[in-house]
Amino acid sequence: MEFKIHFSARAHTYTKEEEDAVLEAMRNANPLTQGQNLHEFEAKLCRYIGGRHAFGVCNATAALELAAQLCCFDKGDEVVIPSHTFTSSAYPFAKSGARIVWADIDPHKRVVTAQTIADKVTSKTKAVVVAHLYGYGADMAEIMEMAKRHNFLVIEDAAQALGVEVEGKMAGAYGDFGVLSFHSHKNISTLGEGGALMVRDKELAALVPGLRHNGHCSFLAKRNDYWIPAMGNVDFPQINGRVFWPNNYCIGEVECALGLKLLDRINVINQKKRERAIRFIDALADFPELEFHRVPSSRHNYHLLAAKLTNGKRDEFIRRMAGDKKIQCVVQYYPLNRYPLYQTAGFGDADCPNADNFFDNMVSFPFHHSLLDSDLDYILQSTQDVLKELRA
Amino acid sequence: MEFKIHFSARAHTYTKEEEDAVLEAMRNANPLTQGQNLHEFEAKLCRYIGGRHAFGVCNATAALELAAQLCCFDKGDEVVIPSHTFTSSAYPFAKSGARIVWADIDPHKRVVTAQTIADKVTSKTKAVVVAHLYGYGADMAEIMEMAKRHNFLVIEDAAQALGVEVEGKMAGAYGDFGVLSFHSHKNISTLGEGGALMVRDKELAALVPGLRHNGHCSFLAKRNDYWIPAMGNVDFPQINGRVFWPNNYCIGEVECALGLKLLDRINVINQKKRERAIRFIDALADFPELEFHRVPSSRHNYHLLAAKLTNGKRDEFIRRMAGDKKIQCVVQYYPLNRYPLYQTAGFGDADCPNADNFFDNMVSFPFHHSLLDSDLDYILQSTQDVLKELRA
The pLDDT tens digits of the residues spanning B184-240 come to 999 999 999 999 999 999 999 999 999 999 999 999 889 999 999 999 999 999 999
Task: Considering only CA atoms, give the Rg of chain B.
Answer: 22
Which residues are CB-neighbours of B259 under 8 A, at least 6 positions away? Answer: B41, B56, B182, B188, B190, B194
Q: HEC states along B125-141? A: EEEEEEECHHHECCCHH
CATH number assigned to the domain comprising residue B162: 3.40.640.10
Quickly list H helices, A51-127.
Answer: 60-70, 91-95, 114-118
Cα–Cα distance measured from residue B162 to residue B189, given in angstroms and rounded to the nearest whole number: 11
Nearest residue on chain B to A251, judged by CA atoms? B193
Nearest CA-CA distance, residue B145 and chain A, Å = 32
- Quick one: B289 and B211 in the same domain? no
Domain span including residue A285: 266-391
Measured from the Cβ of residue B108, the count of other Cβ atoms closer than 10 Å reads 12
- Quick one: B202 and B128 in the same domain? yes
> Is residue B8 in some structural domain?
no
> Is residue A3 in some structural domain?
no
- Quick one: A308 and A326 in the same domain? yes
Cα–Cα distance measured from residue A302 to residue A161, given in angstroms and rounded to the nearest whole number: 8
Cα–Cα distance measured from residue B33 to residue B46, given in angstroms and rounded to the nearest whole number: 20
Give the residue from B262, B294, B310 where a domain finishes: B262
Record: contact B184-A235, CB cut-off 8 A:
no
Contact B287, B387 (CB under 8 A): yes
Give the residue from A262, A281, A307 where a domain finishes: A262
Chain B interface test: which of A20, A58, A318, A336 (most B C-beta within 10 Å): A58
pLDDT tens string, chain A, 392 residues long: the values are 799 999 998 889 999 999 999 999 999 999 999 999 999 999 999 999 997 899 999 999 999 999 999 999 999 999 999 999 999 999 999 999 999 999 999 999 999 999 999 999 999 999 999 999 999 999 999 999 999 999 999 999 999 999 999 999 999 999 999 999 999 999 999 999 999 999 999 999 999 999 999 999 999 889 999 999 999 999 999 999 999 999 999 999 999 999 999 999 999 999 999 999 999 999 999 999 999 999 999 999 999 999 999 999 999 999 999 999 999 999 999 999 999 999 999 999 999 999 999 999 999 999 999 899 999 999 999 999 999 999 98
* Nearest beta carbon to residue A192 from set B184, B254, B322: B254
Nearest CA-CA distance, residue B92 and chain A, Å = 8
Cα–Cα distance measured from residue A306 to residue B231, given in angstroms and rounded to the nearest whole number: 15
List of chain B residues whose C-beta atoms are within 8 Å of the C-beta of residue A331: 227, 230-231
Q: H-helix or E-strand containing A309?
A: strand A305-309
> Is residue A5 in some structural domain?
no
Record: contact A62-B248, CB cut-off 8 A:
yes
Give the residue from B196, B228, B262 where a domain finishes: B262
> Is residue A353 in some structural domain?
yes
- List, for residues B285-317, the tens digit of each pLDDT value: 999 999 999 999 999 999 999 999 999 999 999
Burial of B250 by CB count in 10 Å (0-12 exposed, 13-18 middle, 19+ buried)? buried
Burial of A378 by CB count in 10 Å (0-12 exposed, 13-18 middle, 19+ buried)? middle
Q: What is the pLDDT of residue B76?
A: 97
Q: H-helix or E-strand containing A80?
A: strand A78-82
- Quick one: B254 and B284 in the same domain? no
Q: Give CA separation, A355 vs A293, A337, A352, in Å.
A: 15, 11, 5
> Is residue B157 in some structural domain?
yes
Record: contact A341-B234, CB cut-off 8 A:
yes
> Is residue B6 in some structural domain?
no
Record: contact B33-A247, CB cut-off 8 A:
no
Q: Is the dihedral of CA A160, A166, A169, A173 positive or negative?
A: negative
Pairing mode, if any, of strands A78-82 and A125-131? parallel
Contact A309, A290 (CB under 8 A): yes
- Quick one: A271 and A256 in the same domain? no
> Is residue A8 in some structural domain?
no
- Quick one: A299 and A180 in the same domain? no
Task: Considering only CA atoms, give the Rg of chain A.
Answer: 22
Cα–Cα distance measured from residue B391 to residue B177, given in angstroms and rounded to the nearest whole number: 46
- Quick one: A236 and A98 in the same domain? yes
**Cα A357 to chain centroid, rounded:** 22
User: For residue B307, which of B283, B327, B332 has the smallest C-alpha distance?
Assistant: B332
Q: What is the pLDDT of residue B10?
A: 85
Chain B interface test: which of A5, A16, A32, A93 (most B C-beta within 10 Å): A32
ipTM of the complex: 0.97
CATH number assigned to the domain comprising residue A379: 3.90.1150.10
- Quick one: A71 and A214 in the same domain? yes
Nearest residue on chain A to B333, judged by CA atoms? A230
* Nearest beta carbon to residue A33 from set B62, B184, B235: B184
> Is residue B11 in some structural domain?
no
- Quick one: B78 and B201 in the same domain? yes
Q: CA triplet A41, A45, A51: central angle to 5 degrees?
A: 135
Q: Across the A/B interface, how many CB contacts are shorter than 8 Å?
A: 210
Which residues are CB-neighbours of B281 under 8 A, at least 6 positions away? Answer: B292, B294
Q: H-helix or E-strand containing B69?
A: helix B60-70
pTM given for the model:
0.98
pLDDT of B248 above 90: yes
Q: CA triplet B106, B108, B112: central angle to 5 degrees?
A: 25
Nearest CA-CA distance, residue A300 and chain B, Å = 24
- Quick one: A181 and A237 in the same domain? yes
Nearest CA-CA distance, residue A192 and chain B, Å = 4
Cα–Cα distance measured from residue A217 to residue A210, given in angstroms and rounded to the nearest whole number: 6
* Nearest beta carbon to residue B32 from set A1, A184, A336: A184
- Quick one: A243 and A217 in the same domain? yes
- Quick one: B197 and B245 in the same domain? yes
Record: contact A33-B192, CB cut-off 8 A:
yes
Tally of structural domains, chain B:
2
Cα–Cα distance measured from residue B230 to residue A377, given in angstroms and rounded to the nearest whole number: 27
Q: H-helix or E-strand containing B63?
A: helix B60-70
Cα–Cα distance measured from residue B208 to residue B70, given in angstroms and rounded to the nearest whole number: 9
